[in-house]
Amino acid sequence: DAMVIQNPRYQVTQFGKPVTLSCSQTLNHNVMYWYQQKSSQAPKLLFHYYDKDFNNEADTPDNFQSRRPNTSFCFLDIRSPGLGDAAMYLCATSRSRVTQYFGPGTRLLVL
């Protein structure tokens, strides 16, 4: 089945220790997104790729970076995680505006 896969599902890291979350898709969609969602809040768009074009949201901290080495894979790098970065991180893909397909998310815990 075509899908959006996120690994790992749960990630524990230490304060200040870099961490990378990964997302892969078999849908061959040209747009990939990273969202941060904290408890009882709306998913917040961090950035998205339209093909290879990277689009950063104005309020995304510099601590968050992303890489998209090819159509199928996209990575979220948190260079120095703080306690406030503990959240669910959602990856999504789309081919058009009609809809986005989400992965199951990675829950990040920062100790």
Partner 1 sequence: DQQVKQNSPSLSVQEGRISILNCDYTNSMFDYFLWYKKYPAEGPTFLISISSIKDKNEDGRFTVFLNKSAKHLSLHIVPSQPGDSAVYFCAASDGSGTYKYIFGTGTRLKVLA
Contact 34, 108 (CB under 8 A): no
Q: Contact with partner 1 (CB under 8 A): which of 22, 31, 56, 71?
A: 31
- Token match 């870099």: residue? 18
Interaction between residue 92 and partner 1 (CB under 8 A): yes
Please list every residue from 51 through 90 that binds partner 1, using CB under 8 A.
55, 90
* Sign of the dihedral defined by the CA atoms of residues 77, 35, 69, 8, in that order: positive
Q: Report, in Å, the least distance between residue 52 CB and partner 1.
A: 15
Nearest to 19 by CA among 85, 92, 73: 85
**CA separation for the pair 77, 75 (Å, rounded):** 6
Interaction between residue 11 and partner 1 (CB under 8 A): no
Q: Report, in Å, the least distance between residue 98 CB and partner 1.
A: 6
Q: Contact with partner 1 (CB under 8 A): which of 41, 61, 77, 82?
A: 41
